[in-house]
Amino acid sequence: MQRDGNVVDAIEKWRSIANTAKGVDNDLVARAFFSIGYLHSEQNETDQALSAYDEAIRLNPDYAQAYNSRGIVRSKLGEPTNAIVDYTEAIRLKPDFVEAYINRGNAKRSLGKHRDAIIDYDEAIRINPNSAAAYTHRGVSKNELKDHEDAIADHDKAISLQPNYVDAYINRGTAKRALGQHEEARADMNKAIDLGKQQED
């Protein structure tokens, strides 16, 4: 994949900052490597992203966001168990880290551990009752556990919080189809398609 020139420039800028601050301000160097990791991750350059996040964590072992972001890369690489370790450390360092709870729940869900995943989504919702992502991800796990009506309720809540949430419509449609509500399911899928087109424009 061809790299965006702006991304290349941004990576070089952060590398320059890291080199300048090295031995003077390790927190700034850690932030620079975190930014480098993020930029590589956005380009799907997973090895480079991991290396940068590793360096950020080496420089600042209490960098919760770096653990969370490294976990995201590990999840993308199909390493949910390693990702869970990173998300757990992020949560230990920052107990109100909603995104890390959601990400850990998603990693557990990918391992088929839906009840454990729901515990993480519950905690994310307790911390932030307005997290649409936590509701719809919890709904997916509930659907996998055949708790279709509760799943729909979670997707309803997600949509009420974020009316243009494409995934929530898809997930609600899936749950409705499981209950034999085919017309309603089709309406949700069509809504998701329409929203997706609007967001592409």
Percent over 90 (pLDDT), the chain:
89
pTM of the model: 0.91
DSSP assignment, residue 38? H
pLDDT tens across 43-84, in order?
999 999 999 999 999 999 999 999 999 999 999 999 999 999
Distance, CA of 111 to chain centre: 16
**Which one of 3.40.50.10890, 3.90.1150.10, 1.25.40.10, 1.10.10.60 gives the CATH number of domain 130-200?**
1.25.40.10
pLDDT tens across 137-149, in order?
999 999 999 999 9
Q: Which of 23, 40, 99, 45 has the alpha carbon at shortest distance from 67?
A: 99
Q: Is there a contact between 136 and 105 (Cβ–Cβ < 8 Å)?
A: no
| Residue linked to tokens 């929530």 | 168
Q: Is there a contact between 120 and 133 (Cβ–Cβ < 8 Å)?
A: no
Q: Is there a contact between 40 and 20 (Cβ–Cβ < 8 Å)?
A: no
Q: How far apart are CA 11 and CA 137, in angstroms?
A: 33
The per-residue pLDDT for 2 is 42
- List Cβ neighbours of 87 (8 Å cut-off, separation of 6 or more): 67, 68, 71, 100, 101, 103, 104, 107
**Domain boundaries defined on the chain:** 130-200
Percent over 70 (pLDDT), the chain:
97
The per-residue pLDDT for 1 is 40
